[in-house]
């Protein structure tokens, strides 16, 4: 395979707004768009994170990011050049979902930043690859590269594109269970399209699998199982195409959104073997002691690339594909009916970044209309604030059905730490609240069934296991009572996030 002459980072800091606490460098928990310049520098210089995701999708963004970083911290970046030692990776808007003018603006920042860096004596373009969210086809990956190629072909004495970056690398982000499981097929087609467009295959690809949105749409178990299929299929795709693959995974702190936190590194390193880059979101960076955060990042930098993915045979993949719908159906049934209460609570979850209105993925039709849900972080925060962690919803019923069909014994082997993840989430379960909810709306009885089946199957008791978790238990009882009375609970929700070390 071709030699890769670039850094593949183990950790990528992102702007996901899941921190409950105040960042150690900021006077308040809310991080403004202007403060993200300083944040990216400190993530590089102070926390030793090698990559920072500059997010254009669904949020306001400072378009002068490279100008400001080089102006304010020139001496640092002379020693650690952006685009070589430290990576600033744009997540561009997908023109299928967001307005196309935002994509054009992102392109021009990439182009002009490369020209600026060259004029200052830097040998590498600061931004040379971008993340394409909501990737569903090979064609849309190729179209982004084609659009960039056409843009730099503009020839005018006032717009000399020959002095800019000439090739844009794309990181396809797969955000649905089905697309994650089938992503190797999309990548194989993209490799063929790339060869047709440029005359050669890409040397490598960094396929990026989401963890939050597929869990929001399909539940915890289907998301993990689809990831295992993807990581295995990437091994074969490398062999078949001679193109290196460096998988990425979008991990938050709570198990529902990834389960990566400074105090659970052993579990994440084991569960996500084969992943080359993990996202280090705001809660990881700011809801734990800084010393612990730095040690955790150092360990990820040293150990992540040594872990190898497990290869699945055709029979195993078939078992997983048959298992996934057994968990998706009960999860979606419950979430669809709980959407009203989730939306009420989500509006009181503290804002941590300057986000714009988001068009979510959750819009499936079940013949009774569509349901609309918040983004994954306030969604997760809302259910934890009720004392009903979303990891549990649909899981018990899925296990029961998978056992009935003779699939569970085999498929459960691929989720290595299911017991640890469900126990961790279950520490924040309030069975009293769940019982109260069931008396008001009968569909919550199904979630009680989930809890009983999980406890029976895994031989565990869900509920608080220490004094902090007991405090959380009592807190969510207050939240439930106040929300039923129509009172504001925003401060209580934030305090709950502090106790579990992540908003959502």
What is the DSSP code string of 250-304?
Answer: E--SSGGGT---GGGHHHHHHHTTT-SEEEE-HHHHHSS-HHHHHHHHHHHHHHG
Q: What is the pLDDT of residues 339-350, one digit of tens each?
A: 999 999 999 999
Boundary of a domain, candidates 245, 272, 306: 306
Please state the domain count of the chain. 2
Residues 351 and 217 in one domain: no
Q: What is the pLDDT of residues 193-245, one digit of tens each?
A: 999 999 999 999 999 999 999 999 999 999 999 999 999 999 999 999 999 99
Q: Please report which confidence band the pLDDT of residue 100 belongs to, taking 50, 70 and 90 as the band edges.
A: low
Residues 231 and 379 in one domain: no
* Cα separation, 92 vs 100, whole angstroms: 10
Among candidate residues 328, 256, 324, 269, the one with its CA nearest the CA of residue 301: 269
Is 138 part of a structural domain of the chain? Answer: yes
Residues 109 and 139 in one domain: yes
Would you say 428 and 500 are in contact if contact means Cβ atoms under 8 Å apart? yes
Structure tokens at 478: 């207050």
Question: Biggest alpha carbon distance in the chain?
Answer: 73
**What pLDDT does 370 receive?**
66
Is 255 part of a structural domain of the chain? Answer: yes
Residues 292 and 329 in one domain: no
Residues 55 and 178 in one domain: yes
Residues 112 and 252 in one domain: yes
Range scoring the smallest mean pLDDT among 117-126, 195-204, 355-364, 403-412: 355-364
The yes-or-no verdict on residue 435 having pLDDT over 70 is yes
Would you say 260 and 252 are in contact if contact means Cβ atoms under 8 Å apart? yes
Boundary of a domain, candidates 272, 306, 340: 306
Strands 87-91 and 51-55: parallel
Is 188 part of a structural domain of the chain? Answer: yes
Residues 236 and 378 in one domain: no
Is 295 part of a structural domain of the chain? Answer: yes
**Those residues with Cβ within 8 angstroms of residue 21's Cβ, 6 or more apart along the chain or in another chain:** 29, 286, 287, 498, 501
What is the DSSP code string of 82-119?
Answer: BTTTBEEEEEPPPTTTS-HHHHHHHHHHHHHHHHHHHH
CATH of the domain at 18: 3.20.20.60
Question: CA 252, 253, 258: angle at the middle one, nearest 5?
Answer: 55
Is 2 part of a structural domain of the chain? Answer: no
Residues 81 and 164 in one domain: yes
**Those residues with Cβ within 8 angstroms of residue 351's Cβ, 6 or more apart along the chain or in another chain:** 17, 30
Residues 300 and 330 in one domain: no
* Cα separation, 446 vs 333, whole angstroms: 10
- Domain limits for position 457: 325-500
Strands 159-160 and 155-156: antiparallel
Is 60 part of a structural domain of the chain? Answer: yes
Boundary of a domain, candidates 306, 337, 365: 306
Average pLDDT, integer, range 404-425: 98
Is 3 part of a structural domain of the chain? Answer: no
* Cα separation, 239 vs 71, whole angstroms: 44
Burial 387-424 (b: 16+ CB within 10 A, else e): bbbbbbbbbbbbbbbbeeeebbebbbebbbbbebbbbb
Is 237 part of a structural domain of the chain? Answer: yes
Among candidate residues 433, 445, 425, the one with its CA nearest the CA of residue 221: 425
Residues 331 and 292 in one domain: no
Residues 302 and 331 in one domain: no
Q: Report in angstroms the alpha-carbon separations of 14 from 90, 189, 281.
A: 10, 29, 5
**What pLDDT does 59 receive?**
72
* Cα separation, 426 vs 392, whole angstroms: 8
The yes-or-no verdict on residue 362 having pLDDT over 50 is no
Residues 284 and 373 in one domain: no
**What pLDDT does 3 receive?**
81
């Amino acid at each position: 395979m071709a030699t890769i002459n670039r850094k593949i980072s183990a950790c990528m800091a992102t702007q996901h707004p899941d921190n409950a606490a105040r960042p150690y460098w900021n006077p308040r928990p809310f991080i403004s768009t202007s403060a993200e310049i300083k944040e990216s520098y400190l993530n590089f210089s102070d926390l030793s994170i090698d990559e920072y995701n500059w997010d254009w999708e669904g949020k306001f963004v400072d378009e002068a990011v490279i100008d400001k970083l080089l102006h304010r911290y020139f001496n640092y970046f002379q020693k650690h050049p952006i685009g070589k030692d430290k990576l600033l990776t744009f997540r561009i808007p997908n023109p299928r979902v967001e307005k196309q003018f935002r994509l054009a603006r992102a392109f021009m920042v990439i182009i002009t930043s490369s020209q600026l860096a060259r004029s200052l004596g830097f040998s590498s373009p600061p931004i040379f690859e971008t993340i394409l969210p909501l990737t569903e086809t090979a064609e849309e990956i190729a179209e982004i590269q084609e659009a960039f190629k056409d843009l730099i072909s503009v020839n005018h004495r006032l717009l000399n594109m020959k002095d800019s970056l000439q090739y844009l690398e794309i990181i396809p982000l797969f955000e649905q269970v089905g697309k994650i499981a089938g992503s190797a097929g999309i990548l194989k087609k993209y490799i063929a399209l790339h060869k047709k467009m440029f005359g050669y295959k890409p040397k490598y690809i960094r396929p990026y699998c989401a963890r939050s949105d597929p869990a929001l749409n399909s539940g915890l178990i289907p998301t993990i199982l689809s990831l295992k299929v993807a990581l295995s299929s990437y091994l074969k795709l490398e062999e078949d195409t001679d193109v290196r693959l460096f998988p990425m995974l979008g991990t938050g702190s709570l198990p529902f959104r990834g389960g990566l936190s400074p105090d659970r590194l052993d579990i994440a390193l084991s569960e996500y073997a084969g992943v080359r880059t993990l996202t280090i979101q705001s809660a990881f960076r700011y809801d734990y002691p800084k010393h612990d955060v730095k040690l955790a990042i150092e360990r990820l930098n040293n150990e992540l690339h040594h872990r190898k993915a497990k290869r699945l045979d055709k029979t195993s993949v078939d078992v997983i594909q048959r298992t996934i719908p057994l968990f998706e159906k009960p999860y979606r049934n419950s979430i669809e009916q709980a959407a009203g209460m989730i939306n009420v609570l989500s509006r009181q979850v503290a804002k941590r970044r300057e986000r714009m209105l988001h068009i979510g993925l959750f819009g499936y039709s079940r013949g009774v209309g569509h349901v609309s849900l918040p983004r994954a972080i306030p969604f997760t925060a809302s259910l934890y604030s009720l004392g009903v962690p979303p990891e549990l919803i649909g899981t018990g019923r899925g296990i029961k059905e998978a056992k009935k069909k003779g699939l569970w014994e085999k498929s459960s082997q691929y989720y290595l730490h299911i017991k640890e993840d469900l126990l961790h989430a279950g520490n924040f379960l309030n069975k009293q609240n769940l019982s109260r909810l069931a008396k008001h709306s009968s569909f919550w009885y199904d979630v009680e069934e989930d809890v009983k089946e999980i406890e029976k199957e895994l031989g565990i008791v869900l509920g608080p296991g220490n004094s902090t978790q007991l405090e959380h238990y009592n807190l969510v009882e207050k939240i439930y009572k106040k929300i039923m009375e129509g009172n504001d609970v925003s401060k209580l929700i934030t305090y709950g996030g502090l106790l579990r070390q992540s908003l959502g």
